[in-house]
Amino acid sequence: MRLNFPGPAGPAGRRGALWLLLLALVVALLGLLVWLAGRYESSLVQSRLEDNATLAVTDIRSGLNRNLQAVQALHVRERSALAWRVPAAQLLREHREILRLEWRDENLNMLGLVETPYRTPVFEQLDRASLQADVVLSCNAARRMSSATYSSSYFLPQTDGLGLEVADMCLPLTQAGRLAGYAVVTYSLQSLLSDLVSKTLSHGIGLSLTEADGTRLALYGAPARASRTFVARQLLDLTGTTFVLRMESRLGTPALFPNILTALVTAMSLALMAVLFLLGRDMRRRLQVEHDLGEALAFRKAMEDSLLTGLRARDLQGRITYVNPAFCKMVGVEAQELLNQSMPSAYWPPELAGVYQRRQEMRLAGKQLPREGHESVFMRKDGTRFPVLIMEAPLINAVGKHTGWMSAILDVSEQRRTEELSRASQDRLQASARLAMVGEMASLLSHELNQPLAAISSYATGSLNLLRDESAGSGAPDAPGLSGDLQLAMRRIAEQAERAGKVIRSVHDFVRRSDRVREAVEPHALLEAIMPLVILQARKLGVRISLEVDAACPPVLCDRTMVEQVLLNLARNGMQAMQGGDDPEPAAASLAQPEKVLALRIRPALPGAHGAWVEFAVIDQGEGISAEVARQLFTPFFTTRKEGMGLGLSLCRTVIEQHGGCLGYENGQPQGTIFSFTLPVAVAPAAGEPVNSALAES
């Protein structure tokens, strides 16, 4: 009897039947292969894993026994604690699993200990004394059993924020049949797995030591991460404690199959070949078309993904229908959050959203959009704004229908940053030109002022000689009165003229960056040199000068003239700061303000990495330095005074840094500012240098 079943006719029906047959054969084949191979492989892997776990436990037992024998051999003969440390340290270098070896007496008092050289001390974070109770329990059990006893594991936190599980082994030491002490060995459980288990056994599997309830104590190797994981457990029974060795392994590809499986695979493969031969001609054209289409889509996708320009497509209602990765990266928003989104967009700044929406409605209302670009500002997901250049054009589909608009967006923030850098570079060039001009002016002034200063010095010396001759003619040399005051004034004029010449020569050498001669100078001698000028300025401004000089300060190595100018400049700045900035009139200063004190302090600084230093400090009682001024305090040409050039503090810092020191400031209490700098101490005082007397308070 013939049965007819209704079904599809023609090529489509035959193709569907062939696909169903192929699917059934493939499913049957795969199901049979998985079932047979799984059973066969599971038995092999589990059996092999059980054997390996047994061997791993044997390796650990053997290693611990070898270590026990080595520790016993270490105490065969009597040694001092110092002599014991040498072979003990050698033992720890040979056995990485031992973290610490202790030698204790019969009362468990520490006689000596050695730490492993391969890591930091394990009891650095948690003191060993806090774990004395565990050691006492283990050693008491070892004494009762007259053999080595292992303690339960405990956790040791480490200084790096991690920690490790360790266990102690206590070995009683006997001499002539009596207890002579104990040897306590601290093991790392992870090192037991990594150093005592054979590498051939631990390769490609996960080893761990656990407690009886399954709590993991130590892990070595990558644990199994697969749908089928094989686990073998073996007891590691030690005297005093018991651990469970857990071994995990992935399912590997079996090397051999049973004969029946091979026959089934061969038969099903022949059937599949026949079915595939029938389907080959039908699929060839389909595959070719799909291949061409895939290549076209892949090329388009690669081209869009490689663009640095952001692309955005919107429909006639303004909803976003397409964005490329460059646009998503530009605004920091995923494509899923942007697609089908209407106005306002997520990348519009909130303060500009209304303006953008009105402008966009006007653009979308027109049939034709201008193709020239316009600038705008977008916002990233983190809230930062950045400028963009947008170019829009109508989006026409394959049949010529207007379906929306296509936009190309360029991030021009880098261009704007380059423009800012260019402007900053021009400002720096202008500042450099001004500095060069100042250097030329300093060189010119130093050259032109040398002759007038020499003339002043010569006239002062001649006047002093005339006064001395007059005093000698009158028979009363160096007589007090008007002649004595004139002689003192002339000497001061000559000294200051000579000092001005030295300052000009030092500035000239400083501008030319020539080698400067440095000498060992007593710190208080630097103050003595500038005190006449400081006192003169202080009297004018109504300021009292207070000196704090530590007599223990050693000589400093410096360019004396330049350092004196630094001190003088800081002192003048401090006195002017207490007057409100510019120099006021003396009468106004005395009436408007109470007495102000300017302190000059010299004391040894804290020793640094490069030798000893002496600290010089100028302490005023002014209004202090604001945060806005502090940011530009040492910037050339920055000044808060109308008549200032803004080069004083900048040059002072340069001078001190050339001496190897540091010029800084801090706020005083309750008000004022403390400017301080350091100078290096000379190795020895200069030969023949006089010792100046101590300075008194002015």
CATH number of the domain encompassing residue 600 = 3.30.565.10
CB 54 within 8 A of CB 235: no
User: Is residue 206 helix, strand or coil?
Assistant: strand
Whether 371 and 510 map to the same domain: the answer is no
Please check whether residue 658 lies inside any domain of the structure: yes
In the structure, what pLDDT confidence band is assigned to residue 81 with cuts at 50, 70 and 90? confident
Whether 501 and 527 map to the same domain: the answer is no
Please check whether residue 273 lies inside any domain of the structure: no
Please check whether residue 39 lies inside any domain of the structure: no
Please check whether residue 27 lies inside any domain of the structure: no
Whether 385 and 474 map to the same domain: the answer is no
- The domain total for the chain is 4
- Quick one: average pLDDT of 326-350? 79
Whether 61 and 152 map to the same domain: the answer is yes
Please check whether residue 697 lies inside any domain of the structure: no
What is the C-alpha to C-alpha distance for residues 201 and 211, in angstroms, rounded to an integer? 22
What is the C-alpha to C-alpha distance for residues 121 and 135, in angstroms, rounded to an integer? 18
Question: Of 281-295, 422-436, 509-523, 680-694, which one has max mean pLDDT?
Answer: 281-295
Whether 89 and 208 map to the same domain: the answer is yes
Last residue of a domain, one of 348, 376, 411: 411
Whether 69 and 218 map to the same domain: the answer is yes
Residue 592: what pLDDT? 47
Other C-beta atoms lying within 10 Å of the C-beta of residue 665: 19
Question: Of 88-97, 389-398, 467-476, which one has max mean pLDDT?
Answer: 88-97
Last residue of a domain, one of 491, 515, 539: 515
Amino acid present at 535:
I
Could you tell me the pTM of the whole model? 0.37
Residue 584: what pLDDT? 46
Question: Of 319-323, 430-434, 523-527, 594-598, which one has max mean pLDDT?
Answer: 523-527
- Quick one: average pLDDT of 169-180? 88
- Quick one: average pLDDT of 352-372? 69
Whether 213 and 356 map to the same domain: the answer is no
Q: What is the CATH number of the domain that holds 404?
A: 3.30.450.20
Whether 81 and 160 map to the same domain: the answer is yes
Please check whether residue 269 lies inside any domain of the structure: no
Whether 121 and 225 map to the same domain: the answer is yes
Please check whether residue 274 lies inside any domain of the structure: no
In which residue are the tokens 């090329």 written? 299
Tell me the longest C-alpha to C-alpha distance in the chain. 168
Q: Pick from 624, 643, 516: which is nearest to 574 by CA?
A: 624
Whether 367 and 464 map to the same domain: the answer is no
- Quick one: average pLDDT of 651-668? 85
Residue 582 has pLDDT above 50, yes or no: no
Domain that holds residue 505: 430-515
Last residue of a domain, one of 468, 498, 515: 515
Please check whether residue 148 lies inside any domain of the structure: yes
Residue 13 has pLDDT above 80, yes or no: no
Whether 548 and 668 map to the same domain: the answer is yes
Q: What is the mean pLDDT of the chain?
A: 77
The DSSP secondary-structure symbol of 146 reads T
Whether 458 and 482 map to the same domain: the answer is yes
CA angle, corner 308, sides to 306 and 313, nearest 5?
90
More confident residue, 118 or 466: 118
- Quick one: average pLDDT of 536-551? 88
The DSSP secondary-structure symbol of 608 reads B
